[in-house]
Structure formats: structure tokens, C-alpha cells
Amino acid sequence: MKLRYKIVSGLFGLLVLAVAALAIVIGYTAPCGPVPETASAAVQMKAVVYRCYGSPDVLALEDVARPKPGDNEVLVRVEAASVNPLDWHHMRGSPYFMRLSSGVGSPKDDRMGVDFAGVVAAVGEQVTEFKPGDEVFGGRSGAFAEYVLIPEHRAIAHKPAGVSFEQAASLPIAALTALQALRDKGDLQPGQKVLINGASGGVGTFAVQIAKSMGAEVHGVCSTRNVELVRSLGADRVWDYKKEDYTESDEVYDLIIDMVGNHSLSKNRSVMSAQGRLVIVGGPSGNWLGPMKRPVAALLSGPFVDQELIILLARLRKDDLTEVAGLVQSGAVRPVIDRRFALQDVKAAITYSEEGRARGKILIEF
């Protein structure tokens, strides 16, 4: 064998070994650690905690020290929180590559939940935007607790009068994802035709309504039991995926927002205009490469097609919180609340979310 072939095959072997080692490391799940002792003098609160990755059984409602706000921080007494698929992705540490940021072996942050709404309980000395008693909402790790701490410059905004705590808590991840998919990645214009695949879920119920408020013609895809719901949100045409397949139709969409990922890129492209956009929001779950297949295919094929294949990673932005709350206040958007669970029943709420059958949002009540 020539020397250069030996070098190439040696390097390839090293690469395979490195990938295998990385897979073993990130796929490792450490056993649950012991419950740390809370200093008895500390003021306590109830919080949902998890110290290892796994099923909803790793979740526990515990007494933990109530945090105190630092100079730029706001302490919020939580009145309502909501569940998103992101919560159980964190709980399971799945797909495994997300453990590179959430913690290899076990979670770095042991608190659950992101979306919250509540009342400001205390603020740090340098906080100017909020004061105790203000009604607020936002997104911050640790929202499944009686109190949550958040820096004032992060994703926290005033809750408008006329928007309930429940409604406000339903907004952060789901409504911002819908808004950013339609406005930022989709560049949706009045009069354009948009398809929302997964129209009955947390993101989809907001996407249908926000797209209507932007002046679009909106088509939604859902199952038979949700057809009336999606129609009531303003969809001009509803595809019942149990009976029909939009990718087999003659429709021409300017934009497809895909929360489901159950059709190939080429099937979606076949019902898109020449300059149409496909925004990939969600897709199949899985520990390894399953969730990555479509985004990777979109990245690889994107440069060779006229249509735009776009991957969305939504961000919790203060301005967008204010914008979606304004849409609720004006009546343009009505959050759809599916089920409500008490804080001590978070396991059941997460189990329900993992089933993937939610109609709108799942709420945690305090």
C-alpha cells in the first residue's frame, strides 16, 4: 500500500474512533445523585427538580432555597407556567448531542420548565424596568417553581392588562416560534398562501392565527378530531391528514411551516412556488441522527434548488414577547389551552406532552 493511502486510511480510522468515543460519552446516562441538603436558615420554595436524565419518573417536587435577586435580576412569583416539547427533551437529554450544552452524563441545571407568567416579588438594586408588584411573563430555566429568577435584560416583559396569567404563560416558546417562523424566516407577505403542518399543536395554533393577522391565506394540517378547532382559529382550508395528503395536491404555497417533518423535502417542494420557502421547525424525535436527517438534507440540498429550505432555532426575545402579547390583547390571537395540571402533577403534564397529542398548550397552575 502506498504511503499516502496508509496516511488517509489511518486518519479515517482515527476519525471513526473519535466519533465512536464521542457517541459513547454523550450517550452515557449517570445514575441520579442524592438530594443535597438545603441550609435550614434559607427561605424555601417548591420547585420541580431533576438530577439525572430519564423518563418523567426523574422529576421530583422538592423544597429548595428561594433565590435572591442579584443587582440586575428580577425575582418573579410564578402564577402560571406552560409545557413545551423542549422540557422533555431536556429531561431526557435527547437527542444526545444536546447534552454537549445541557450536561454530559447528567443535567448541569437541575430545574425544569421555561415559560412563566407571574408577579415581580423583588428586584436587584440596578433594575430599572421592573418593580415589585408588576405583572410579567417570559422564558427562563426553572419556571416550574414557585419563584423564578431572571436578569432584567433577558426574556421578561410586562404582561398587558386584559391578558390573563394563563394566556401569558402559554406564549413564550410556542408563540415566539410561530412568529419568528412566519415573519423572520418565512418573510410572509399579505396575500401569500401559507401551509401550517401541525396546526393543532402549541406552535401550530399560534401560527395559524398569527399568519391570518399578517393577511395571509392560511391552510392548516391536522387530524380529523382537530379540524373544527383549526377552522375556528381562522384557517381558510384545513387538510385532515388522516384522509388526505397535501403533498399530493395541486396547491402552490409561498411558505410551508413544518412542525411535523412527516413528508420528504422533495414532496414539500412539489407544492411550493418557484421562490417558495420551507421553514423546518420540528420533526421526528430520537436519540441519535433521526432528528438531524431533514435539517442536514436541507443544508446539503439548499444550494442546488431555487426554493429556500430554512431551519429555525427560535430565540426568546423581549421585543417579540411584547409583540405576541399585543396580538392577544388586541384579540387577533387567542391562546388555545388544552389541559391544566397542578405543580405537583408536572410528571403527568410532561407525560401528556410526550404523547404528542396536545391541542394547543398544556398549562401548569399554581
| Closer of 90 and 159 to ligand NAP (Cβ) | 90
**Cβ neighbour number for residue 46 with a 10 Å cutoff:** 17
Contact window for ligand NAP (CB under 6 A) among 17-25, 104-112, 300-308, 355-363: 355-363
Contact between 214 and ligand NAP per CB under 6 A: no
Q: How many C-beta atoms lie closer than 10 Å to residue 210's C-beta?
A: 25
Of the residues 94, 106, 197, 247, which one makes contact with ligand NAP according to CB under 6 A: 197
Is residue 210 within 8 Å of 228, Cβ to Cβ?
A: no
Beta-strand relationship, 73-83 and 361-365: antiparallel
Q: 108 vs 357, which CB is nearer to ligand NAP?
A: 357
The answer to whether 132 contacts ligand NAP (rule: CB under 6 A) is no
The answer to whether 82 contacts ligand NAP (rule: CB under 6 A) is no
Tell me whether residue 149 or residue 227 sits nearer to ligand NAP (CB atom).
227
Q: Which of 82, 106, 170, 200 binds ligand NAP (CB under 6 A)?
A: 200
User: What b/e sequence results for 74-94 when a residue is b if at least 16 CB atoms lie within 10 Å of its CB, and e otherwise?
Assistant: bbbbbbbbbbbbbbbbbbbbb
Break the chain down into helix, strand, coil percent, rounded to 5.
Answer: 35, 25, 40
Among 72, 262, 287, 301, binds ligand NAP (CB under 6 A): 262
173 binds ligand NAP (CB under 6 A): yes
Q: Kindly state whether residue 210 participates in binding ligand NAP, applying the rule CB under 6 A.
A: no
> Which of 149/255 has CB closer to ligand NAP?
255
Helix/strand/coil for 271: coil
Q: Is the peptide bond before 95 cis (omega within 30 degrees of 0)?
A: yes
- Using CA atoms, how far apart are residues 278 and 280, in angstroms rounded to an integer? 6
Give the C-alpha separation, 328 to 25, whole Å.
45
138 touching ligand NAP, by CB under 6 A: no
By the rule CB under 6 A, 61 interacts with ligand NAP: no
Chain positions 229 to 248 lying near ligand NAP, rule: CB under 6 A, are 241
Q: Is residue 253 classed exposed, middle or buried when 0-12, 13-18 and 19+ CB atoms within 10 A define those classes?
A: buried
The contact set with ligand NAP (CB under 6 A) reads 84-85, 173-174, 177, 197-198, 200-204, 221-223, 225-226, 241, 259-260, 262, 281-282, 312-314, 353, 356-359
